[in-house]
């Protein structure tokens, strides 16, 4: 928080019912997968910038009511819409900058952005009650709570479903298993379409749903999704947030993902390979990643042992894609 003499240029200050947020640039909120000064303190919160307009929207990805996993609720569509100001640095902030390596001298920003948001508890109460009337600062694109719930959750579900399909058909991590005939490259209906072509079609549908989500929510799907990952405590050092799929929302219970590439399949088809550095710990990976071992984190012997364990449990050396080795 800084003393009287110096003050960090990236900080939050709680003042009873409100919180003042100070940060070097509004761009600090443009990357939902990176922690901002706000999500650092309150992981369930996310800040969405309204480009071209000097405003931000702050909302919470907290679980509302009996939702769990990746499932959202209309209450997650309640946000605070707040003006932000760009201002020059105070003497105390300049003093703080001069004490740092990054922001000293030429590194000092010319201006800072500042806004005042409702206290996180107010935002959470608005979400839990799915009610914009909880505080004057709260708002939503769709004011009717039941309609908001129906529309937001159904678009969210469509995005998860397209994500699920697109991942199965991905060029890099795809296991095209259990696809509906219209999306199955092996189906005779798709003689003229391969997996890459079908993947492009799915991606276009997903983009349309993402646009719809932005229009009805007032913020981006990815902003809510990344915040939900933080709420769930999901930490995947090798993957980007966008590699992950809301499998439960897509109706894929019992499925999980490869921790190296994000490829998806029923959980029992993955290999659990002992790490080279810590043999007591295994990492869940798909066949391709296990064999490619691009990071050198396990040995060939460890992969063979993992294949044997899977064979004992499942009967036969069946790969994720279905063929035998
Ligand atoms: Zn993989």
φ/ψ (deg, to 5) at 196: -65, -40
CA 174/CA 196 separation, integer angstroms: 10
Closest by Cα among 186, 272, 218, 236 to 80: 218
Which pLDDT band, with edges at 50, 70 and 90, does 322 fall under?
A: low
Instruction: Verify that 207 and 190 share a domain, yes or no.
Output: yes
Interval 273-301: pLDDT, tens: 999 998 889 999 999 999 998 888 999 99
CA 47/CA 56 separation, integer angstroms: 7
Angle (nearest 5°) at CA 81 between 80 and 84: 120
Asked if the structure places residue 265 within a domain, the reply is no
Asked if the structure places residue 23 within a domain, the reply is yes
Asked if the structure places residue 123 within a domain, the reply is yes
Interval 48-100: pLDDT, tens: 998 777 899 999 999 999 999 999 999 999 999 999 999 999 999 999 999 99
Dist. CA 130 → ligand 1 center (Å)? 39
Dist. CA 68 → ligand 1 center (Å)? 26
Interval 28-51: pLDDT, tens: 898 888 889 999 999 999 999 987
Dist. CA 275 → ligand 1 center (Å)? 15
Instruction: Please determine, for residue 315, whether its predicted confidence score (pLDDT) is greater than 80.
Output: no
Which pLDDT band, with edges at 50, 70 and 90, does 157 fall under?
A: very high
Instruction: Verify that 114 and 158 share a domain, yes or no.
Output: no
Dist. CA 283 → ligand 1 center (Å)? 11
Asked if the structure places residue 322 within a domain, the reply is no
DSSP class of residue 238? T
Phi-psi region of 2 (alpha: psi -120 to 50; beta: other; left: phi over 0): left
- By the 8 A CB rule, do 130 and 149 touch? yes
Instruction: Verify that 104 and 129 share a domain, yes or no.
Output: yes
Alpha-carbon distances, residue 169 vs 99, 200, 203, 205, 261 (angstroms):
51, 9, 10, 14, 13
Dist. CA 284 → ligand 1 center (Å)? 9
Closest by Cα among 275, 271, 266 to 288: 271
Dist. CA 174 → ligand 1 center (Å)? 9
Dist. CA 26 → ligand 1 center (Å)? 35
Pick the last residue of a domain from 141, 175, 192. Answer: 141
Asked if the structure places residue 263 within a domain, the reply is no
- By the 8 A CB rule, do 116 and 18 touch? yes
**What's the domain count of the chain?**
3
Task: Calculate what percentage of the chain has a pLDDT beyond 90.
Answer: 78
Q: Would you state the pLDDT for residue 168?
A: 94
Asked if the structure places residue 239 within a domain, the reply is no
Pick the last residue of a domain from 82, 107, 141. Answer: 141
Dist. CA 236 → ligand 1 center (Å)? 13
Instruction: Verify that 45 and 114 share a domain, yes or no.
Output: yes
> What average pLDDT does the chain have?
92
Dist. CA 220 → ligand 1 center (Å)? 27
Instruction: Verify that 40 and 125 share a domain, yes or no.
Output: yes
Dist. CA 238 → ligand 1 center (Å)? 11
Angle (nearest 5°) at CA 22 between 27 and 16: 135
Q: Would you state the pLDDT for residue 112?
A: 96
Asked if the structure places residue 98 within a domain, the reply is yes
Residue with tokens 């932005």: 214
Instruction: Verify that 131 and 151 share a domain, yes or no.
Output: no
- By the 8 A CB rule, do 87 and 80 touch? no
Which pLDDT band, with edges at 50, 70 and 90, does 2 fall under?
A: very low
Task: Tokens for 232, please give them.
Answer: 């769930």
Instruction: Verify that 20 and 132 share a domain, yes or no.
Output: yes
CA 38/CA 57 separation, integer angstroms: 12
Q: Would you state the pLDDT for residue 4?
A: 66
Instruction: Verify that 136 and 122 share a domain, yes or no.
Output: yes
CA 266/CA 320 separation, integer angstroms: 8
Q: Would you state the pLDDT for residue 323?
A: 61
Pick the last residue of a domain from 141, 174, 199. Answer: 141
Instruction: Please determine, for residue 151, whether its predicted confidence score (pLDDT) is greater than 70.
Output: yes
- By the 8 A CB rule, do 39 and 117 touch? no
Instruction: Verify that 89 and 202 share a domain, yes or no.
Output: no
Asked if the structure places residue 297 within a domain, the reply is yes
Which pLDDT band, with edges at 50, 70 and 90, does 324 fall under?
A: low
Range of the domain at 192: 147-217
Count of C-beta atoms within a 10 Å radius of residue 16: 6
Dist. CA 288 → ligand 1 center (Å)? 6
Instruction: Verify that 166 and 63 share a domain, yes or no.
Output: no
Dist. CA 199 → ligand 1 center (Å)? 18
Interval 49-62: pLDDT, tens: 987 778 999 999 99
Instruction: Please determine, for residue 186, whether its predicted confidence score (pLDDT) is greater than 90.
Output: no
Query: Model's pTM, two decimal places?
Result: 0.92
HSE, side-chain direction, 13 A CA sphere, residue 270:
23
Instruction: Verify that 209 and 156 share a domain, yes or no.
Output: yes
Dist. CA 261 → ligand 1 center (Å)? 4
Dist. CA 46 → ligand 1 center (Å)? 29
Alpha-carbon distances, residue 125 vs 117, 119, 120, 242 (angstroms):
14, 10, 9, 28
CA 115/CA 209 separation, integer angstroms: 31
Interval 216-272: pLDDT, tens: 999 999 999 999 999 999 999 999 999 999 999 999 999 999 999 999 999 999 999
Q: What is the largest CA-CA distance in the chain?
A: 73
Task: Calculate what percentage of the chain has a pLDDT beyond 70.
Answer: 97
CA 26/CA 47 separation, integer angstroms: 10
Higher-confidence residue: 179 or 318? 179
Instruction: Please determine, for residue 3, whether its predicted confidence score (pLDDT) is greater than 60.
Output: no
Instruction: Verify that 81 and 96 share a domain, yes or no.
Output: yes
């Amino acid at each position: 928080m800084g003393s009287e003499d110096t003050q960090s240029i990236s900080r939050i200050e709680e003042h009873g019912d409100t919180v003042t947020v100070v940060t070097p640039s509004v761009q600090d909120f443009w990357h939902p997968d990176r922690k901002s000064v706000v999500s650092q303190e309150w992981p369930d919160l996310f800040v969405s910038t309204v480009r071209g307009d000097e405003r931000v929207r702050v909302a919470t990805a907290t679980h509302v009511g009996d939702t769990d996993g990746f499932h959202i609720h209309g209450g997650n569509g309640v946000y605070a819409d707040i003006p932000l100001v760009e201002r020059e640095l105070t003497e105390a902030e300049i003093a703080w900058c001069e004490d740092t390596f990054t922001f000293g001298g030429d590194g000092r920003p010319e201006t800072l952005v500042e806004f005042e948001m409702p206290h996180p508890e107010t935002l959470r109460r608005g979400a839990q009650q799915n009610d914009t009337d909880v505080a004057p600062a709260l708002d939503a694109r769709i004011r009717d709570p039941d309609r908001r719930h129906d529309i937001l959750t159904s678009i969210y579900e469509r995005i998860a479903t397209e994500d699920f399909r697109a991942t199965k058909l991905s060029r890099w991590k795809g296991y095209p298993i259990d696809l509906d005939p219209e999306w199955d490259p092996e189906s005779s209906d798709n003689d003229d379409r391969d997996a890459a072509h079908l993947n492009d079609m799915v991606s276009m549908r997903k983009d349309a749903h993402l646009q719809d989500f932005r229009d009805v929510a007032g913020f981006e799907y990815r902003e809510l999704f990344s915040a939900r990952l933080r709420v769930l405590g999901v930490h995947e050092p090798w993957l980007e947030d966008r590699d992950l799929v809301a499998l439960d929302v897509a109706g894929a219970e019992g499925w999980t993902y490869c921790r190296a590439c994000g490829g998806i399949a029923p959980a029992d088809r993955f290999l659990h390979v002992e790490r080279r550095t810590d043999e007591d710990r295994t990492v869940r990976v798909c066949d391709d990643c296990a064999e490619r071992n691009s990071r050198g984190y396990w040995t060939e012997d460890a992969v063979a042992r993992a294949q044997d364990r899977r064979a004992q449990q499942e009967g036969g050396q069946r790969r994720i894609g279905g063929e035998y080795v």
